[in-house]
Chains A and B, each alone.
Chain A
């Protein structure tokens, strides 16, 4: 029985399986690429409604366009299993032979691929958690002084002020100005109307509040005096995403592993040249 389990464990972590899975993933993603290029994409609501709901509605109805994605999910799952088993076997081996390394630095650098492998699993887990657990409210339009309720809470978010930065276009002879950024001041009030928090949001600079992140999706006016009768407004995406921290942790760990790997690669080459 134990031998049987060990054999399955080793087969799951084999490098041959990793190669086959990666090649299947390439083929599947190329298929997905052509589907997405065809312009029929039912994926837009995926980030808003979550994986379960999306799979049962858009995913199932447009199966011709989403089948590649449903193939992708088990492939990624198998890759995560393969990566975990393969790298755990090798990390165990490295720690067992720790004394064979000249120093901690050299040993530490040898862990770099495994750092990236574990990071990949974190990224996949984070992404899966986001798709299963995140709450997204994609369109929250606020005009000056107006507020909207943050879903599932009693808090209101209100637009207090909006400053739009314009830039003259260099490409046209008319040299019109158009908006390149906006800074909005938001305040949050509780059920009794008391301001509990306020902050500034701009393009690519979200604001965090009680586990929610608010992103500036759109704003107006986009030209001086234009849009919605020149009335200043913002459109916010409000998200509560418990998977994002895991996802970002994976990204940072992968980046650290990557730098260690490149560092070791340069160091090894340098040592080789020295010997020559």
Chain B
């Protein structure tokens, strides 16, 4: 689990994937359904143990691309 954020009752679990080359697809392509299931399980465990206050939950994927001229981030909100 890479990031957990909260604002106004919205709890966001964010998976961050970094790629230096896109030859095998962008970072978002690496989030398979197995990975998605893992993130969901981790979120459940987090909620069970930490008991955060929230109204809704969202899963995001942040795809970070690092190139020779710096880096950029693409966020897929509500990814799964």
Q: Do A and B come from one complex?
A: no
